Amino acid sequence: MTEARWLGASAPEDLAAGLTQRGYRVVGPRVEDGELLLGDIAPGEALPRGWSDRASPGRYRLESTSEGTTGAAERFGFRVGAHSWKRFLHPSEALLFRARRDRTDGLKLQPPPPPKTPLALLGVRPCDLAAIGVQDRVLSGGPHVDAGYVARRRGAFLVAVECTRPGATCFCASMGTGPGVESGYDVVLTELVDDTRHGFLARAGSDRGAELLAGLGGREATADEQAERAAAVEAAARNMGRKLEVHAARRALAEGAELRLWEDVAERCLACANCTLVCPTCFCTTVEDTTDLEGRVAERRRSWDSCFGLEFSYLHGGSVRQSVAARYRQWLTHKLSSWFDQFGEAGCVGCGRCIAWCPVGIDITEEAAVAITQQHEAAEVRPHRGPARRGRKR
Amino acid sequence: MRDMVALLSASPVFAGLDHDQLEFIAGCGWNVHFKAGDTVFKFGEPADRFFVLRAGTISIEIRYPGGPARRLETLGDGEVLGWSWLFPPYTWQFDARALTDVRATAFDGTCLRDKCDDDPPLGYELMKRFAGIVAARLQATRLQLLDLYGQPL
Amino acid sequence: MDSPSESHGTLAAGPMRPRPFVVVRRWDETADTFSVELRPALGDGSEPSGAPAFRPGQFNMLYAFGAGEVPISISGDPADGERLIHTVRTVGAVTRLLSELRPGDAVGVRGPYGTGWPVDAAAGHDLIIIAGGIGLPPLRPVLYQVLAQRDRFGRVALLYGARSPEEMVFIDELRRWRSRLDLDVAITVDRATESWRGSVGFVTTLIARAPVDAADAVAMVCGPELMMRFAALGLVKKGVPEQQIYASLERNMKCGIGLCGHCQLGPSFVCRDGPVYPFTDVKGLLQVAER
């Protein structure tokens, strides 16, 4: 659908109202106590205005843009915060079933109640949109599906927002996930603001998206506005904060079990699991079974888990991955290499969250580059016959 | 004699030796038979023989001071018993006992050792083969030591 | 298996919900290993009757009420549609609870999951089956299936290594198999007891003498990872082509269906791409020094 409409600066509220009216539970960005969160947007509630963010390794700050500048009016001046949309689609805690046991009836298991209202995700950045696609494939693309995920995901309305000013930790262009999008959404917005006017180019990606837009008023976008959007997105692609060579990284990591890199990272990595918590594609979970005091009612809950935890690889007697080096290696290799073998694509979408939220500022793009370099060096040494060089481990 | 040569060339231990070498070794060999429970050799005795087992089971053991024999491993048909004849101090390091009736071919270790000194190529061939046997035994013993079935992974 | 086209309610339950089964019999195999026979709980009209069909090598997730689940290989006869048998080693909290189950008790079952041993592919070949310790239960279904169609296979050899004579499982069955003329059974222990008259030594020492045509043989190996690695070396040394060797692996599993991420071995999900693998597929991964 190449048709585009032009909406005013209050498009976020108008969309939220339209979606609420249509029976959706609207979730989107909120600023609370100086933090950028994703949460429920109450009917009539205003979405953020005049906020930007600054991210760098180990650091993230939400900043209020100063009065009198164009930034002061901006609706989507921030990129991504610690929250990602997986908190709604693949929540950190979920009940899998409740079980009863008694002497006469034996074991009876009861599924959890299905979600009451469908979700509408308002303000999904292209990297996060790609992440939703990645989790779709992981959690519902295989022979067994995550029933809870499918129940929450099916029918979810997606309003995406393209990026025109990438952040310092962003590298979606390298991962092929942004800064623009052409599919995977119901509605996509591109915010265009200058001294003369402030509004949104809005495109529909589905029938229900078109229907929602049609009910919002606005007008058809002009050719100039369409061109401005295209130029802004293209400029953003050329101004990414970081880069990552996807295919070289994939190859290097596939062979890279013995690189020096792992021990080097292990000296900095705290195995705190922040990266896996903020990563929009990390999907690993654990299950916990509990019972009431009488032992008659049991519950199974699944919750987020992280491969950085020592007990993640526990196998009666000990953990298979004892060292931080082995665990970091598992995470990075999975994210940038094995994911291709499993799901046909990278597990990383270039959102940069892991860089900002790592307390010691480990940068995935930097580690990937190091892996590529070290693997090249190792490959050059290997064909030579004779004694090992530089004391390298075989 | 011809039977003995044929037997030797069929055994993996002696495969690849040339006919003259096989004939010499065969000349140092003779058939033996042990009944279940018989001692084949004891710790400390001169190691002047080795055996190629043809049928039955031999137990390699060590006796605790004043106590029972502790079985370390068993050997069966086709396997070689005894390498201490080839390495100083040329005494047995363990006991060997027939667990069942055993038929084997015994070889005169002293005679063969002297011949190896005079005939380095034959010596090298025998040394290679016995070193291989010792290596394989060591590896298997290490795995036994690891007590793998008691470990988690 | 639930399909996405079903109603919201069943869908939300999905493949993480165990089916209720009931313990029929329970018996000890060794001091720390027991076997249990299960049947589906009656009275739940939506469930099909009889034990679910499975391929040798597959596993179920067994649920101990309120405590958790563990992946346990099915150790019974695949041709017996009535009885589901598992042999479990008591190593942790969940298995301990399972070991306390008595006839009539309820247990949850999900599965069968995973890949199976290539029994059909081995038809027409010699077969060498190598089990170490608790590795025999996942291989017993293979023996049942092979012996039930004996003339489809060439020479069949079972090599079984246990820690000591007291820690051998399926002793009665081993005796019966050993008395068969069409099956070669060799048993060894790492440590002998006073009365043990059999072989002593690690199970790999039995490989060289196994009476099969190595070049033609298909090998199925199950036991501790180090044992499988050295067994593969011994098989190759004997002349078995590496691509004819199969191994069964084990990893921490929380879901058993490829969704929780725990069982990953390199790019492979052991619950879904395994537990049975062609050895060549996992050889490299097993050698990665996890530290």
pLDDT of residue C287: 66
pLDDT of residue A389: 46
Angle at A363 (CA atoms; ends A359, A364), nearest 5 degrees:
125
Structure tokens at A107: 């074991």
Confidence label for C2 from pLDDT (cuts 50, 70 and 90): very low
Nearest to C136 by CA among C160, C163, C165, C100: C160
| C14 pLDDT higher than 80 | no
Chain B nearest C-alpha distance from C50 (Å): 34
Strands (E), A88-165: 93-102, 106-110, 119-124, 157-161
pLDDT of residue A295: 83
Backbone angles phi, psi at A279, to 5 degrees: -65, 130
Tell me what the pLDDT averaged over chain C comes to.
Answer: 90
| Contact yes or no for C108 and A99 at CB 8 A | yes
| Rounded CA Rg of chain C | 19
Please tell me the total count of domains within chain A: 2
C2, C63, C291: residue with CB nearest A147:
C2
> Is C230 at the interface with chain A, CB within 8 A?
no
Residue type, A199: G
**Would you tell me which residues 23-82 of chain C have a C-beta closer than 8 angstroms to some C-beta of chain A?**
41, 43, 63, 65-69
Structure tokens at C107: 């247990």
Residue type, C43: G
pLDDT of residue B152: 61
Assess if CATH 3.40.50.80 describes domain C120-248+279-287. yes
Nearest to B122 by CA among B52, B3, B2, B26: B26
- CATH number of domain containing B121: 2.60.120.10
| C45 pLDDT higher than 60 | no
Confidence label for C49 from pLDDT (cuts 50, 70 and 90): low
Structure tokens at C179: 């008395």
- Of the three residues A179, A209, A238, the one that is the final residue of a domain is A238
Is ipTM > 0.95 here?
A: no
| Contact yes or no for C17 and A96 at CB 8 A | yes
Roughly what angle, to the nearest 10 degrees, separates helices C279-287 and C225-238? 130
Residue type, A25: R
Q: Which one-letter DSSP state was computed for residue A47?
A: P
Write the DSSP assignment of B45-73 as a string of letters.
SB--EEEEEEES-EEEEEEPTTS-EEEEE
Q: Which residues of C touch A325 (CB under 8 A)?
A: 291
pLDDT of residue A390: 47
| C12 pLDDT higher than 50 | no
| Cβ–Cβ < 8 Å for A106, A321 | no
Q: Which residues of B touch C194 (CB under 8 A)?
A: 68
> Is C259 at the interface with chain A, CB within 8 A?
yes
pLDDT of residue C18: 93
Among all residues of chain A, which has the CA nearest to that of B153? A315
- Indicate if A229 and A252 belong to the same structural domain: no
**Would you tell me which residues 114-153 of chain B have a C-beta closer than 8 angstroms to some C-beta of chain A?**
151-153
| Cβ–Cβ < 8 Å for A122, A19 | yes
Q: Is A346 within a domain?
A: yes
> Distance between CA A377 and CA A12 in Å, rounded?
51
**Residue pLDDT, tens place only, B24-63:** 888 889 999 999 999 999 998 999 999 999 999 999 998 8
Q: Is A313 within a domain?
A: yes
**Residue pLDDT, tens place only, C116-157:** 999 999 999 999 999 999 999 999 999 999 999 999 999 999
| Cβ–Cβ < 8 Å for C259, A144 | yes
Q: State whether the Cα torsion C125-C186-C209-B133 is positive or negative.
A: positive
> Is B80 at the interface with chain C, CB within 8 A?
no
> Distance between CA C74 and CA B145 in Å, rounded?
30
| Contact yes or no for C209 and B76 at CB 8 A | yes
List of chain A residues with pLDDT < 50: 1, 385-386, 388-394
Q: State whether the Cα torsion C53-C56-C59-C63 is positive or negative.
A: positive
> Distance between CA A181 and CA A172 in Å, rounded?
11
Residue type, C48: P
**Residue pLDDT, tens place only, C239-287:** 999 999 999 998 889 999 999 999 998 899 999 999 999 999 998 877 6
- Indicate if A198 and A250 belong to the same structural domain: no
In sequence order, the β-bridge partners of residue B19 are none
Chain A nearest C-alpha distance from B45 (Å): 45
| Cβ–Cβ < 8 Å for A8, A216 | no
- Of the three residues A187, A219, A238, the one that is the final residue of a domain is A238
| C175 pLDDT higher than 60 | yes
pLDDT of residue A316: 65
| E strand or H helix that includes residue A131 | helix A126-140
- Of the three residues A206, A238, A270, the one that is the final residue of a domain is A238
User: What domain range includes position B56?
Assistant: 2-150
The residues, any chain, with a CB within 8 Å of residue B7's CB and separated by 6 or more, are B26, B52, B54, B105
> Distance between CA A382 and CA B115 in Å, rounded?
45
| E strand or H helix that includes residue C37 | strand C33-40
- Indicate if A230 and A268 belong to the same structural domain: no
pLDDT of residue B66: 72
Chain C nearest C-alpha distance from A85 (Å): 18
User: What domain range includes position A197?
Assistant: 4-238
**Residue pLDDT, tens place only, B115-143:** 889 999 999 999 999 999 999 899 999 99
Structure tokens at C68: 């958790």
pLDDT of residue A322: 86
Among all residues of chain A, which has the CA nearest to that of C249? A315
Q: Across residues B11-21, what is the average pLDDT? A: 86
Please tell me the total count of domains within chain B: 1
> Distance between CA C180 and CA C175 in Å, rounded?
9
Q: Which long-range contacts (CB under 8 A, 24 or more apart) does C96-100 make?
A: C97/C64, C97/C65, C97/C67, C98/C36, C98/C62, C98/C64, C98/C70, C99/C34
Q: Across residues B145-151, what is the average pLDDT? A: 84
Residue C291's alpha-carbon distances to A87, A262, A278, A318, B23, in angstroms, are: 33, 11, 26, 11, 53
Backbone angles phi, psi at A273, to 5 degrees: 75, 5
- Indicate if A74 and A187 belong to the same structural domain: yes
Nearest to C227 by CA among C249, C196, C212: C249
| Contact yes or no for B144 and C223 at CB 8 A | no
Among all residues of chain B, which has the CA nearest to that of C199? B74
Q: What is the CATH number of domain C8-113?
A: 2.40.30.10
- Indicate if A233 and A250 belong to the same structural domain: no
pLDDT of residue C13: 52
**Residue pLDDT, tens place only, C182-216:** 999 999 999 998 888 899 999 999 999 999 999 99
Q: Is A275 within a domain?
A: yes
Number of H helices, E strands in chain B: 4, 8
